[in-house]
Amino acid sequence: MSGQTFIFCLGATKAGTSWLFDYLSGHRECHLPAMKELHYFDALEHGTGDYYRTQAQSRLEAARKDPSTAWQKRLVADLERWLSVFDGKTRDDAAYLRYVQKGGEQARVIGDFTPAYGLLKEKSLKTMAALTDKVRFVYLMRDPVDRIWSNIRMMVGNDGSALAAKVDGVLNGTADNILDRSNYRRTLNRLTRAIPREALHIEFYERLFTPAAIERLCAFLGITPQPASFDRVVHQSTKADLPMGQRAQLQAALKPQYNFVESFLGELPAEWTQKMVSA
């Protein structure tokens, strides 16, 4: 449809992207593929298409076992179609766009929620920004230490020794992928060089689950706010407390990120600074 907005939600991981995907998937003015995280642009940039195709194939096989709901049937169809559209290697932006648009021709907003896009280089972000006449980017940020701790718990569960070892890996540089996803400075610098500032919407995880945040997002996308299930938890990590000593170590290691966000936005959210004082 004329004036349709294409949204990219590119992270950060464990900062509310799945909840927001569910909200917009259920919005009457939006249409998103049933398959979250297409990994199109990062597969092309990093050469990881085979890995993500295997992942999608496994998900398809699991979905085929119980296609009992309309959503499951749609997921099966979307996965089958995606595997036929993208071989993991060949760039075809027109085919990618047709895939995302299918079924949403009358929607005001369509898009792709892939948090890993937050790690892309400026060249890829510029390509994404030029995909249609109206592309918008949403970037969710969570307190860097809390985001890392949630990411770690999602990976290793609540095994105390494994949790401690993974935190040590972040601190000594052997768990770079986890640390990368809290590199807000790099992502925001690349984004602001690649796209106009008015095409970027930033929200904090700590404030996302509120009517005010939804109103801000919907105004940015040009859609009408509709009620959200703020108490609905999506992909919750295993519960475990981060020892205060390790929290303080992580905060010290991530100080450049806190400083950058404060400089970029003019202030840090109170939800972040309160935890910094208590560590």
Residues of the chain with pLDDT under 50: 1, 279
**Which pLDDT does position 261 carry in this prediction?**
96
**Which pLDDT does position 136 carry in this prediction?**
98
Longest dimension (CA), the chain: 55
Domain harbouring 207, CATH code = 3.40.50.300
Phi-psi label, residue 14: left if phi above 0, alpha if psi -120 to 50, beta otherwise = left
pTM above 0.75, yes or no: yes
**Which pLDDT does position 171 carry in this prediction?**
85
Domain containing 171 equals 5-278
| Beta bridge mates, 30 | 109
> Tens of pLDDT along 144-160?
999 999 888 888 877 77
**Which pLDDT does position 255 carry in this prediction?**
93
CA-to-CA distance for 85 and 213, rounded, in angstroms?
A: 35
Please count the structural domains in the chain. 1
**Which pLDDT does position 26 carry in this prediction?**
95
CA-to-CA distance for 200 and 188, rounded, in angstroms?
A: 10
Q: How far apart are the first and last CA of the chain?
A: 51
**Which pLDDT does position 279 carry in this prediction?**
45
Q: What share of the chain is helix, strand, coil (3-state, %, to 5)?
A: 55, 10, 35
